[in-house]
Amino acid sequence: MKNYLSLILVLLLTACIPLPSSKPAIKPTEIQVKTDLATLKNRINLPQHISSAQWIVLPVGIANNNVPGPTDTVLYAVLKSSSNWSSLPQAKPSSTDQEIVRVPIPVAQKLFSPNVLKNFTQSDGYVRFTGKLYDSSFFDRSGYSGIYAILIGNSLLVCLQST
């Protein structure tokens, strides 16, 4: 009887040990940055004056730890303009004119230089970017819906999720 109780106790304790996550944490080396504007234009709407872009597409669960569907993705793009951003529709003004968005650190490290990142707070696995918010629905296209578009220096950071 004592051995039986010991076996049950061991089985119960083993059942309480969490299993390793089925989704490993994303490593910066696994993130592929793309720069092809033509392919990006097929995925999202772009203003005409975009001179270059760096962009990343990741499964939703890896990018921001949400529960993804089988094909849900999030797209992060840093857009550079050959003119200013005044032609882009702005989001509704906030009381402070500055908004904060969070980007997973491995994504931010791929899209921004260390000189840019040092100006923003990093905590809990995210970089907190502060800047002027624009209307992200402007970029909606081809199954992607805007989450945010924020001006960081002279670049626009756009985040969209597949729908």
Q: What element of type H or E holds 129?
A: strand 126-134
Can you give the residue range of the structural domain that contains 38? 2-162
* Angle (nearest 5°) at CA 114 between 45 and 160: 20
- Counting the structural domains of the chain, the total is 1
Longest dimension (CA), the chain: 81
**Cβ-count burial of 114 within 10 angstroms (0-12 exposed, 13-18 middle, 19+ buried)?**
exposed
Q: What is the pTM of this model?
A: 0.76
In tens digits, the chain (163 residues) has pLDDT values of 555 444 444 444 334 343 333 334 555 557 899 999 999 999 999 988 899 999 999 988 654 455 555 578 999 999 999 888 877 877 666 656 788 999 999 999 999 999 999 999 999 999 999 999 998 999 998 789 999 999 999 999 999 999 7
